[in-house]
Structure 1
Amino acid sequence: MTGSRSAIITGGFGQIGDAIATELLESGLVDQIWCLDSRVPDVGTDPRVRYIQVDLSGEQEMEQVRAQLPDRICMLINAVGGERRPSVAAVQDKSWPPSAVWDDITVLNMGLPYRVTERLHDRIEDGGTICNISSIAAGMPWVVSPAYGAAKAALEHWGKSLAVVLAPRGIRVNAVRPGFVWSRQWAEVSRQEFDEVVRDRVPLAQVSTGERVSKEQTPGDIAKVVAFLCSSAAKHLTGQTLDVDGGAALARAPR
């Protein structure tokens, strides 16, 4: 597609990645998207979105995929992250996960975004954007999964350093911190507990046509902020992190 604007989304098979793809396309910021993920796609079939199942940690696999990607991209969105279910080893004490679990979580949430970005940064156009999906866990104690919080904090720190490195090329690097978004991982816990967490820990009321509505954040809410950060409206924003959490990080440590 001559003159097309292309984006790459890592972790693009998940709900947040899929919502970001939809928002970027519908807002006209890009014309085509490549989604990279190790999971089996369970999202839409928009012809403008190409889904590539790949082990992002595999050197040979990534080299093969690199050959399939466009030579020039305007956006790289790192939405890969979370925690493997089931974990690579049994966790008896959440405060002290086995080293194998700690390493797996930190690689997934910090190592993979770095590895993909290191391989593709030379394809990002001058004036392009990178946006990393972090978590409110990065900014507060997260005792139910200290490896996750630590990895997201590292992701944000690296993002700030990367913003300085790429600033001479006009490439902006920012991050978004989702709060409580219903996800596969929450589904493995319970909807009731999720609703209780949102009710108790999200202080900002949501009102529509005069009525109070759900306070949970949706993948679409996250996607809209990502699209803003990748648009010309945010042309002077780099090295920044935006919380999309309904004020949860302001009230108290959620975990």
Structure 2
Amino acid sequence: MPEQDKKEKTLAGAGRHQGKTALVTGGSRGIGRAISRRLAREGALIAVHYGHDEAAADRTVKEIETDGGRAFAIHAELGVPGDAAALWTAFDRELAAYAPDAEPGLDILVNNAGITLPRPIEQVTEEAYDRVFAVNTKAPFFILQQSLGRLRDGGRIINVSSAATRFAYPSIIAYCMTKAAMDHLTLPLAVQLAPRNITVNAVAPGFTETEINPTLKDPRIRQALSAHSVFDRLGQPEDIADVVAFVASDDARWVTGQWLDAAGGVHLGL
């Protein structure tokens, strides 16, 4: 990225999240890493959650600190019994250790962690089905449930969904179902939490260049997926992070219960 672009990126929204605490699940890699870094640049203290890759979480924390931000890593494997409780125990412990004078609690919760299941229905086993729902739907449901006592009034909840919930993709049918469930969860929560001025929204990426999709190493697949966007390119994690940063800000205080397309105009040209 050119130096001028980097400078403009740093200045955009500078201080918008100053004094806030944010938790990004799956915050160490891909879209989650970009969200963590973006919110940190805007002043938030970031809890970078990871499930397995401690080294990636440490790198993301160091990147944030190098940029002048503040962050700490928390570990909790998702998709296993007690995962939400383990995550919040780690969050409470690490927040108190990192910032002992900080007010306990949370301002921004980004449910980003997820796994894929690139199989058509006839190839989906019960074990794989249960696994993808445990990580993508059950874990964030109970993370949200147990966040309500920690989330401060005026807070923000952002569920990272997928543009795939609006189209027919037989090859990832179970994955799409998990994200569609999160889309619906966004709606009743937005109503329930409105008296506390907490907004709840879903941000839906399209084909995005992250390591979660190894097929993008194939130039033919890259070209085919890029062609779905009106911009004729793959999305970058930063494209999604910028949308999340807006929705997490006070600028979006009048936006709740919404599904925000962050897919680069996928299929608009059809």
Displacement of 1:196: 1.7
Consecutive unaligned residues in structure 2, runs of 5 or more? 1-17, 96-103
Q: Match of 2:90?
A: 65
Q: Match of 1:49?
A: 71
CA distance in 2, matches of 1:6, 1:63: 14
CA distance in 2, matches of 1:77, 1:147: 22
Tell me whether 1:112 sits opposite 2:139 in the alignment: yes
Q: Match of 1:18?
A: 33
Instruction: Answer yes or no: is the 8 Å Cα contact 1:11–1:80 preserved in 2.
Output: yes
Partner SS for 2:174? helix
Give CA deviations for 1:8-54 in whole Å, capped at 9, x if unaligned. 111112211111111112123x2x11122212132421341111221
Correspondent of 2:189 among 144, 162, 173: 162
Change in CA separation of 1:63 and 1:50 when aligned onto 2, cut-off 3 Å? closer
Tell me whether 1:38 sits opposite 2:56 in the alignment: no
In proportion to residue count, which structure has more helix?
Answer: 2
Where does 1:1-255 land on structure 2 (aligned, <5 Å)? 4-28=19-43, 30=44, 32-41=45-54, 42=56, 43-44=59-60, 45=62, 46-47=64-65, 48-56=70-78, 57-59=80-82, 61-62=86-87, 64-68=89-93, 70=95, 71-83=104-116, 94-96=120-122, 97-188=124-215, 190-204=217-231, 215-251=233-269
CA distance in 2, matches of 1:179, 1:189: 13
Partner SS for 2:154? strand
Displacement of 1:185: 2.8
Displacement of 1:82: 2.4
TM-score, length of structure 1 as denominator length: 0.83
What do you get for the CA RMSD once the two structures are aligned? 2.1
Instruction: Answer yes or no: is the 8 Å Cα contact 2:215–2:221 preserved in 1.
Output: no
Give every structure 1 segment of 4 or more consecutive aligned residues whose post-TM-superposition deviation is greater than 6 Å: none
TM-score, length of structure 2 as denominator length: 0.79
CA distance in 1, matches of 2:221, 2:212: 11
Change in CA separation of 1:199 and 1:72 when aligned onto 2, cut-off 3 Å? closer
Corresponding pairs, count: 232
CA distance in 2, matches of 1:216, 1:247: 11
Partner SS for 1:77? strand
Q: Give the stretch that moved more between structures: 53-62 or 218-227.
A: 53-62
Give CA deviations for 1:61-115 in whole Å, capped at 9, x if unaligned. 336325315421110001111227xxxxxx9x62221111111112221111111
Displacement of 1:189: 5.5
